[in-house]
């Protein structure tokens, strides 16, 4: 994990993975969460630049990566 991200998304199926790849292609950073480690690893591989996209099966990592969640609370 590399700090905080602009977007956080739970679920890295077809829609979730494509959403994260789309927002990172448009200049934002994103962090995804899925219990399926194969989906997590696939997103890390496809996303390439870990400064822009990262993923984890660990919910604590997901929550601590999402800056706007803290802003809302």
What does the pLDDT look like over 5-24, one tens digit per residue?
Answer: 888 888 889 999 999 889 88
Domain boundaries, the chain: 1-6+17-65
Give the residue ranges of DSSP H helices in the chain. Answer: 14-25, 37-47, 59-65, 67-72
Kindly give, in sequence order, each residue whose CB lies less than 8 Å from that of residue 72, ignoring residues fewer than 6 positions away: none
Which residue would you say has higher pLDDT here, 31 or 73? Answer: 31
Question: 1 is written with which tokens?
Answer: 């994990």
Structure tokens at 67: 């800056």
**Residue (of 69, 33, 73) closest to 53 by Cα position:** 33
Please indicate, yes or no, whether the overall pTM of this predicted structure exceeds 0.85: no
């Amino acid at each position: 994990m590399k700090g905080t991200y602009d977007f956080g998304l739970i679920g890295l199926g077809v829609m979730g993975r494509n959403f994260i790849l789309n927002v990172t292609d448009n200049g934002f950073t994103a962090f995804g969460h899925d219990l399926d480690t194969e989906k997590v690893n696939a997103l890390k591989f496809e996303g390439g630049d870990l400064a822009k996209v990262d993923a984890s099966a660990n919910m604590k990592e997901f929550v601590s990566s999402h800056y706007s969640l803290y802003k809302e609370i």
